[in-house]
Amino acid sequence: MKCEAAQKKLVSAIEAKGNLALRAPILATHLFTCAACRKEAQRLRQALSVLATEKPKAKVPETMASNIMQRIALEAPLQHPGAQNPVSFRDWIVVGLILFIALCTLPFSSESPFVLIITVSIFLTLYGSLLIGSHLEELAEHFGLRQ
């Protein structure tokens, strides 16, 4: 085993309980023969034991994590608007018009006009929901609904 591979497996092997020679015999053999990796394993054991025994000295307010997450949620969409809306508003309108024209040109029988009404209603509802849901920020800003 090379030192690089051994050091990648070292953390999980040391954190686990039990005999290292039984759990990972190849790693144990490498640590026995390689002084550098053996020193690294010893440093890692010491660091993990210090982390396990020491308690945090500073108290963190309970609401701090929720406040940080709220700030991230508020600022993230504004910094990367393209990540939320990969398709532009103009493209949505063009595709919607093309699909609507195609839907209107489909032959429907006059015996059951409800099929046409139901089909167009379902199409418009789904398309409108996807359009509004994917461009909510833009529409709110356009219609002055942002505070």
Token output for 11 = 């953390």
DSSP 77: H
Q: What is the dihedral of CA 26, 9, 23, 43, to 10 degrees?
A: 100
pTM, 2 dp: 0.36
Q: With 0-12 CB in 10 A as exposed, 13-18 as middle and 19+ as buried, what is 30?
A: buried
Q: Which residue has the higher pLDDT, 115 or 40?
A: 40
Tokens of 121: 């209603």
CB-count burial class (<10 Å; 0-12, 13-18, 19+) for 44: middle
pLDDT in tens, 106-116: 776 667 777 77
Neighbours of 132 (CB within 10 A): 12
Task: Give me the mean pLDDT over the 27-37 stretch.
Answer: 84
Predicted pLDDT at 32: 83
